[in-house]
Amino acid sequence: HDLAVLADTCDRLSVMYAGRVVEEGPAREVYAEARHPYGRALSAAFPKIGDPASRRAPRGLPGDPPDPAALPGGCTFHPRCPVALDSCATEDQELREAGGERRAACVLVDTDGKARSTS
């Protein structure tokens, strides 16, 4: 789950949630600017080297991962997603182009790779 280590040791990276790939692309790009909310949460979860404040205030995700035997409908990440829309609870998201060599399974990702605003 430490994307910083993976970004330094891998060329490409796939982020999985509940048994499905939700984002993929060049490892350093996925780590530095994840397109899927779960990828962003993973990138932010670990302290930054040389930043003592981040060691004292680790960030995580609220809630628990879903039970694999009882996955929620729609996007399986929606119950924990800070930017989920109402449609995320009912519409499954396939991987879509997210700019360059990147793909992400999020309704908020445009084909140019920019995340749309939820406001």
**Is 111 inside any structural domain?**
no
**pLDDT band, residue 114 (cuts 50/70/90):** low
Query: pLDDT tens across 75-103, in order?
Result: 999 999 999 999 999 999 999 999 989 99
In a domain, residue 77? The reply is yes
Checking if the pLDDT of 110 tops 90, the result is no
Stronger pLDDT, 10 or 117, i.e. the higher one: 10
- Residue 53 counted as domain residue: yes
Domains identified in the chain, total number: 1
pTM: 0.82
What distances in angstroms separate CA 79 from CA 9, 21, 66, 100, 105, one per listed residue? 31, 17, 9, 29, 15
* pLDDT tens-digit map of 24-78: 999 999 999 999 999 999 888 776 666 676 566 556 778 888 999 999 999 999 9
The answer to the question of residue 109 being in a domain is no
Looking at the domain assignment, is residue 114 inside a domain?
no
Closest CA to 105 of 76, 79, 80: 76
Specify if 112 maps to a domain.
no
Structural domain boundaries enclosing 37? 3-104
CB contact burial 48-70 (16+ within 10 A = b; e otherwise)? eeeeeeeeeeeeebeeeebeeee
Show Cβ contacts of residue 95 under 8 Å, excluding neighbours closer than 6 positions: 21, 22, 23, 24, 103, 104, 105
Task: Read off the pLDDT band of 115 (50, 70, 90).
Answer: low
16 assigned to some structural domain: yes
Residue 100, in any domain of the structure: yes
Tokens 């670990």 locate to: 46
The pLDDT assigned to 74 comes to 95
